[in-house]
Amino acid sequence: MSFVWTIAEQRDGRLKNVSFELLSRGRRLADTLGTSLASIVMGSGIEQSELERLIQQGADEVYYVNDRRLADFVCESYSNIMVFLLKQYHPHSVLAAATSLGRTLMPHVAVRAKAGLTADCTELDIEAETDNLLQTRPAIGGNIMATIKSPYHRPQMATVRPKSSRPLPADPTRIGKIIEVSVPEELFDSRVSVIGYRRDDESFVNIEEAEIVVAGGRGLRKGDNFKLLRDLAEGLGAAVGASRDAVDRGWIEYPRQIGLSGKTISPKLYVAAGISGSIQHLAGIKTAETIVSINNDPEAPIHRIADFGIVGDLFEIIPRLTKRLGRERKGSKTA
């Protein structure tokens, strides 16, 4: 049987949310191919209940390689094990997240497996006539979407942009297999060991993981006006993001850019101020639960996809929202 595989990620014995995002992608591909979906887990001491979550959210089988030396990601060991598993099971396609782990591991494996790899995909599909994996990703600075396929080599491999899809709802009635796989001792590479983690920027905010994001665009007119958004974000407990236009103008740093050429986000609430809504930007927010747009142009594309569209001057609306939030917080403290 020609499986579709996803690579699950874990930290401290807990599966990361991106593992379940990948399952929703893999489930659709597997169903189209009429095959099974398997999730590959490498780690140490992961609880059975954690592994069962993968079954509940789309996997038919879970292959778990359990060893204390896999608690932390070491590319050489992970790659050795992946190549070993590929030779054992011959999957049709392998998907990983476009995270630091996926971006490091998948090229290493692809070279050794002589397989094609497309990075940072936003869409995946199956070509009906050939069963080729159609891998769509932004190209030329995000100005076009390119669809790539690897017709002559298997497995087909891709990394998928985090937050570009939502996990499937958990179904406790789903039945699947959890298989603990033993691997040869020589696959563990002892040349590298992880001695700890250190954050290099204490002020860094990962907008991909934020539940609320407030973002600004060209309508803010200058970088100093991002203070309006920072004040609002403080009141909401939000992260601050930006459109590509604002980043290109030097108003805010690149790690806060949202869109195909920046970050894809999936917050519970997204507030866009002074952002018209290019196709590239809208693709980066399509999985947000609630979108609020503030723009003085009633024809701005972002209004068409917003749950709540406010047509007006952001320089009047944002301070009023911030002031109202301040009153609400003050009232809650004195109540």
168 and 271 inside one domain: no
Supply the pLDDT for residue 17: 92
SS3 content of the chain, % helix, strand, coil (to 5): 35, 25, 40
Task: Please indicate, yes or no, if residue 200 is contained in any of the structural domains.
Answer: no
Mean pLDDT on 260-287: 90
Q: Specify the CATH number for the domain of residue 234.
A: 3.40.50.1220
29 and 132 inside one domain: yes
120 and 13 inside one domain: yes
118 and 218 inside one domain: no
162 and 311 inside one domain: no
Task: Please indicate, yes or no, if residue 264 is contained in any of the structural domains.
Answer: yes
Task: Please indicate, yes or no, if residue 204 is contained in any of the structural domains.
Answer: no
Q: Would you place residue 2 in the very low, low, confident or very high pLDDT band (cuts 50, 70, 90)?
A: low
pLDDT(200) > 70: no
Task: Please indicate, yes or no, if residue 290 is contained in any of the structural domains.
Answer: yes
Strand 212-216 relative to strand 177-180, pairing? unpaired
219 and 126 inside one domain: no
The predicted-structure confidence for 13-37, as pLDDT tens digits, reads as follows: 899 999 999 999 999 999 999 999 9
83 and 219 inside one domain: no
pLDDT(238) > 90: yes
* Minimum mean pLDDT range among 71-85, 103-117, 138-152, 208-222: 138-152
Supply the pLDDT for residue 199: 64
For 257, which DSSP code? B
Query: How many domains is the chain built from?
Result: 2
pLDDT(192) > 90: no
- Domain with 240 in it: 212-334
Task: Please indicate, yes or no, if residue 220 is contained in any of the structural domains.
Answer: yes
Query: Which of 154, 187, 220 is a domain's end point?
Result: 187
Supply the pLDDT for residue 87: 94
Q: Would you place residue 159 in the very low, low, confident or very high pLDDT band (cuts 50, 70, 90)?
A: very high
C-alpha distance across the termini of the chain, in Å: 63
Task: Please indicate, yes or no, if residue 233 is contained in any of the structural domains.
Answer: yes
Supply the pLDDT for residue 209: 84
Mean pLDDT on 139-152: 81
Query: Which of 128, 153, 187 is a domain's end point?
Result: 187
Q: 327 versus 22: which is more confidently predicted?
A: 22
183 and 253 inside one domain: no
Cα distances from 198 to residues 195, 201, 202, 303, in angstroms, run 10, 9, 10, 41
Task: Please indicate, yes or no, if residue 196 is contained in any of the structural domains.
Answer: no
137 and 248 inside one domain: no
Beta strands in the chain (DSSP E): 4-7, 10-11, 14-15, 37-43, 61-66, 93-97, 117-121, 123-126, 133-139, 144-148, 156-160, 177-180, 212-216, 239-242, 269-273, 290-295, 308-311
131 and 228 inside one domain: no
Q: Specify the CATH number for the domain of residue 119.
A: 3.40.50.620
Mean pLDDT on 3-18: 94
Mean pLDDT on 204-215: 86
Distance CA 144, CA 135 (A): 14
Q: Would you place residue 188 in the very low, low, confident or very high pLDDT band (cuts 50, 70, 90)?
A: very high
Supply the pLDDT for residue 142: 62
Question: Strand, coil or helix: what is 218?
Answer: helix
Mean pLDDT on 42-67: 95
Give me the chain's average pLDDT, please.
Answer: 91
Identify whether the C-beta of residue 152 lies closer than 8 Å to the C-beta of residue 133.
Answer: no
326 and 284 inside one domain: yes
pLDDT(203) > 80: no
Mean pLDDT on 174-180: 95
Task: Please indicate, yes or no, if residue 128 is contained in any of the structural domains.
Answer: yes
Q: Which two tokens stand for residue 217?
A: 């665009």
| Residue 142: count of CB within 10 angstroms of its CB | 20
Supply the pLDDT for residue 332: 61
171 and 282 inside one domain: no
Whole-model pTM?
Answer: 0.78
Please report, rounded to a whole number, the percentage of residues in the chain having pLDDT higher than 90. 74
